[in-house]
Amino acid sequence: MTSGKIDAPIGIGDDYFERFGVSHEALAKVLSAAMARGADDCDLFFEHASSTAVVLSDGIVNRAFTGVDLGMGIRVVVGDQVGYAYTEDLDVGAMIDAAKIAAEIAQGTRSIAPVALTPRRYADRYPVGRRWEAVGIEERIPLIRGWESAAFARDPRIEKVQVSLSDSERVLQVVRPDGRLCVDYQPMTTAFVACTAIDGDVRESGAYNVSSRSDMTFYQDADRCERLVNKAVDRTLFLLTAGKPPAGELPVVMAAGASGILLHEAIGHGLEADFNRKRVSIYADRIGQQVAPDTVTIVDDGTLDHARGAINVDDEGNAAENTTLIQNGVLTGYLHDEISARHFGVPSTGSGRRESFRHAPMPRMRATYMLAGPHEPEEIIRSVKKGIYCETFANGQVQIGAGDFAFYMRQGYLIEDGKLTQPIKDVNIIGNGPAALEQIEMVGNDLKLDEGGWTCGKEGQSVPVSQGQPTILVSNLTVGGIGA
């Protein structure tokens, strides 16, 4: 960990937004305008973001683009009522006008006088040596051409390869009436390789990607680049011979890593505190209760170095932390933003996140995973007489109120007499979150965080997340082939 001050190597400091005319004096005026009608709380959120992507298909760079976004949002809070407005114009007058609109939406009787701003320091979990804005197209193209060539060279059945390299950098500033002023530089990069293979009359496509809050040195790891290509090819070739499993209720073994989507969809959303504050979640009022076997401990962690879901500070100005949600099977807490924390009388967990300055924050996951358990993965598979082994996934969804979930398994295997046998593909896994938690029978000792570019959607907002888990056995889930 570093001191948390983002300075010399990348040129980002506490005065970053002064280049756009946003002085401390201007911030004080905007805060005063936002609080003028009375409020319990308020925040100003500034964002300067840029992104670049290069896409290669059929041996040709057919897309290359860069985008830039700049603006600020103002939130005024009165009880559970929120007024929110934003502007892409950082002129003081435009920001004051937006503040007045937010204040009009959520009028209160309590008046808080903003105090002098004091920059805050946070741990820096994703330091970089060179900003992405300094990386030219001429550095990106050789990388993606190399990945394309390596994919074609793996197998003559590979007919088509598409490769992309994208990156972004986001500088945010959060200002609070209690004097908090924090600035954070958030880099991100994602590499993607997709292949199409043909074998006789069978055509299949598969892909793999890696993502991290890192700079260009992320791709200097030869093993990572080789894995990116090989897994894309292997997944594609696997699908050429895979079949459909029998439908019905079966034991399901979830492989370590990407199977963390089970936690994310079936459990994580239900533990976001806004759903519990509104009494929508099935986990409302279950703090302190046993909700899973004692081998199950689940955390949501914003502190993992360079992880896609890592943050130094959340979008409300609170330091990220590692939040234990379920410990030895007992529900111990929720993921809180400022509003839910105030409602429950607990500190924020640093989970207030937003897609951009155009959106108000809400409780969101960061990196959600289950801690390792006592069992060897091979022992777990051997314990199943007939079931399925889930390896890779595409997406999932959950009904927060009932806890019912469904997610799409792209590839896996049948388990017969304790052994992996027939490759299978395109399977819907359906269940209920609380029931699935209770039905976890074995937890592996092989915790793995997936390295892919997962993005979580909630109420129209998308944020980057990470997920993972060890190999686990769920005794009973509904399995159904697509189109069966």
pLDDT 10s digits, 359-415: 999 999 999 999 999 999 999 999 999 999 999 988 778 888 888 999 899 999 999
Q: What rounded mean pLDDT belongs to the chain?
A: 93
C-alpha dist (Å) from residue 369 to 1, 8, 120, 228, 290:
22, 34, 29, 22, 18
Contacts of 383 (CB under 8 A, 6+ apart): 418, 441, 442, 473
- Asked if 255 and 109 sit in the same domain, the reply is no
- Do 252 and 212 belong to one domain? no
pTM greater than the 0.85 cutoff: yes
Residue 478 CB contacts under 8 Å (≥ 6 apart), including other chains: 248, 249, 429, 430, 431
Half-sphere exposure of residue 288: CA atoms within 13 angstroms, side-chain side: 1
Same-domain status, 275 and 314: yes
- Domain end point (choices 193, 216, 241): 241
Residue 5 included in any domain: no
In a domain, 7, yes or no: no
The predicted pLDDT at position 4 comes to 39
Q: How far is Cα 210 from Cα 225, in angstroms, rounded to an integer?
A: 9
pLDDT band, residue 483 (cuts 50/70/90): very low
DSSP letter at 260?
A: G
Torsion of CA 328, 331, 332, 336, to 10 degrees: 140
> DSSP string of 303-354?
--TT-TT--SB-TTS-B--EEEEEETTEE---B--HHHHHHHTS---S-EE-
Domain membership flag for residue 352: yes
Tokens of 263: 């936690």
Q: Do 263 and 167 share a structural domain?
A: no
Which residue, among 444, 441, 391, has the nearest Cα to 420 in the 3D structure?
391
Q: What is the DSSP letter of 52?
A: E
211 & 313 share domain: no
Tell me: do 220 and 80 sit in the same domain.
yes
Q: Say if residue 212 is in the same domain as residue 262.
A: no
Q: Is pLDDT of 484 > 50? A: no
The β-bridge partners of 330 are 290, 327
Query: Are 218 and 312 part of one and the same domain?
Result: no
What domain range includes position 191? 16-241
226 and 274 share one domain: no
In the chain, the percentage of residues whose pLDDT exceeds 70 is: 95
Task: Identify the pLDDT of residue 6.
Answer: 37
Summarize the chain as % helix, strand, coil (round to 5): 25, 40, 35
Confidence of residue 8 (pLDDT cuts 50, 70, 90): very low
Mean pLDDT, residues 58-72: 92
Model confidence at 238: pLDDT above 80? yes
Is residue 8 one of the residues assigned to a domain? no
Tell me what pLDDT residue 116 has: 84
| CA-angle at 417, arms to 432 and 443, nearest 5° | 45
3 state DSSP class of 442: strand
Model confidence at 112, pLDDT cuts 50, 70, 90, reads low
**Exposed (0-12), middle (13-18) or buried (19+): which is 433, by Cβ within 10 Å?**
buried
The pairing of beta strand 118-119 with beta strand 180-199:
parallel
Give yes or no: residues 180 and 326 share one domain: no
Q: Which of 171, 167, 178 is nearest to 72 (CA)?
A: 171
Residues present in the chain in total: 484
* pLDDT for residue 109: 63
Establish if 345 belongs to a structural domain: yes
Cβ 386 vs Cβ 356: under 8 Å: no
Q: Between these two residues, 352 and 262, which has the higher pLDDT value?
A: 352
Give a yes or no: residue 3 inside a domain: no
The sign of the dihedral angle between the CA atoms of 285, 291, 297, 299 is: negative
Q: Which helix (H) or strand (E) holds 171?
A: strand 158-175
Kindly report, residue by residue over 290-300, the tens digit of the pLDDT.
Answer: 999 999 999 99
Number of domains in the chain: 2
Q: Is residue 4 part of a domain?
A: no
Q: What is the spatial distance between Cα 196 and Cα 212, in angstroms, rounded to a whole number?
A: 26
Q: What is the mean pLDDT of residues 170-198?
A: 97
Q: Is 299 a domain residue?
A: yes
CATH number of the domain residue 58 falls in? 3.30.2290.10
The reply to whether 329 and 189 lie within a common domain is no
pLDDT in tens, 427-481: 999 999 999 999 999 999 999 999 999 999 999 999 999 999 999 999 999 998 5
Residue 410 pairs in a beta bridge with none
What would the mean pLDDT of 15-35 be, rounded to a whole number?
95
Compare 261 and 237 and report the one with higher pLDDT.
Answer: 237
From 218, 241, 264, give the residue that closes a domain.
Answer: 241
Q: Among 221, 241, 261, which residue terminates a domain?
A: 241
CB 142 within 8 A of CB 80: no
Of the candidates 232, 173, 134, 225, which has an alpha carbon nearest to the alpha carbon of residue 48?
173
On whether both 202 and 334 belong to a single domain, the answer is no
